[in-house]
């Protein structure tokens, strides 16, 4: 296969830079505690300094993998498939989700929303970042808004983003892991004063699982 032929398949979403895939327990947000199969797609240019998966940023480090093979492997483990990254919407998710839905599974995505929404999703977790804001279209489609709290200024950003999502979107504040001891008390106080928000914790880290 020539480089141009490979690139054409990547552009169509028939090949995706697969970083890793694993069966675990969803640790965050609305579906925490649920067994799910995670598909982590490489490639992200949002560049959050506190990102805990920086090795996902460079797509070229991760082998272009046939979408069909990703699907075949994923559905062996779970009927809930979570696509994460990196930033998965860097790539066209249409083929991946079409093939997953044909297998009768639930499709979830974790995204910053920085790129056009592609694919068919049963659950969209939107986690906006200041460096590259979401596209306008995704605000109306997000099922949950997960705002990462690193410092006090993030509460203001969280409110700005909450004002844009649809009325049924569930609102979460989640401490950035390295700052959790400092910001958890601040989040608790904030949620108690503003009960439209809920607290999300990275429970998988407490459980010491992926």
Count of domains observed in the chain: 1
**Which residue has tokens 């992200």?**
44
pLDDT per position in the chain (210 positions), as tens?
A: 888 998 999 999 999 999 999 999 999 999 999 999 999 999 999 988 889 899 999 999 999 999 999 999 999 999 999 999 999 999 999 999 999 999 999 999 999 999 999 999 999 999 999 999 999 999 999 999 999 999 999 999 999 999 999 999 999 999 999 999 999 999 999 999 999 999 999 999 989 999
152 within domain boundaries? yes
Q: Is 27 annotated as a binding residue?
A: yes
Q: Is 129 annotated as a binding residue?
A: yes
Determine the Cα–Cα distance for residues 67 and 59; give it in Å rounded to an integer: 15
Domain holding 129: CATH number?
3.20.20.70
53 within domain boundaries? yes
70 within domain boundaries? yes
Q: Is 86 annotated as a binding residue?
A: yes
2 within domain boundaries? no
4 within domain boundaries? no
pTM of the model: 0.95
87 within domain boundaries? yes
Q: Is 84 annotated as a binding residue?
A: yes
Q: Is 13 annotated as a binding residue?
A: no
Residues 6+ apart with CB under 8 A from 109: 82, 83, 84, 88, 89, 93, 119, 121, 123, 124, 125
Q: What domain range includes position 200?
A: 14-206
3 within domain boundaries? no
Q: Is 78 annotated as a binding residue?
A: no
CA angle 23, 24, 28 (to 5 degrees): 135
96 within domain boundaries? yes
Q: Is 127 annotated as a binding residue?
A: yes
Q: Is 50 annotated as a binding residue?
A: yes
């Amino acid at each position: 296969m020539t480089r141009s032929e490979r690139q054409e398949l990547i552009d169509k979403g028939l090949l995706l830079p697969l970083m890793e895939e694993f069966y675990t327990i969803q640790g965050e947000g609305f579906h925490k505690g649920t067994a799910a199969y995670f598909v982590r797609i490489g490639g992200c240019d949002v560049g959050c300094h506190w990102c805990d998966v920086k090795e996902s940023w460079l797509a070229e480090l991760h082998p272009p993998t046939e979408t069909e093979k990703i699907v075949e492997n994923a559905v062996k483990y779970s009927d809930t498939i979570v696509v994460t990254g990196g930033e998965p919407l860097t790539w066209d998710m249409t083929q991946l989700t079409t093939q997953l839905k044909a297998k009768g599974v639930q499709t979830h995505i974790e995204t910053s929303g920085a790129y056009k929404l592609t694919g068919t999703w049963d659950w969209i977790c939107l986690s906006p970042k200041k460096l590259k804001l979401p596209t306008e279209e995704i605000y109306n489609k997000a099922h949950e808004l997960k705002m990462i709290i690193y410092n006090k200024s993030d509460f203001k950003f969280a409110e700005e983003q909450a004002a844009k999502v649809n009325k049924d979107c569930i609102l979460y504040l989640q401490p950035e892991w390295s700052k959790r001891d400092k910001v958890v008390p601040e989040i608790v106080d904030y949620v108690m004063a503003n009960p439209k928000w809920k607290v999300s914790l990275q429970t998988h880290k407490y459980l010491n699982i992926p």
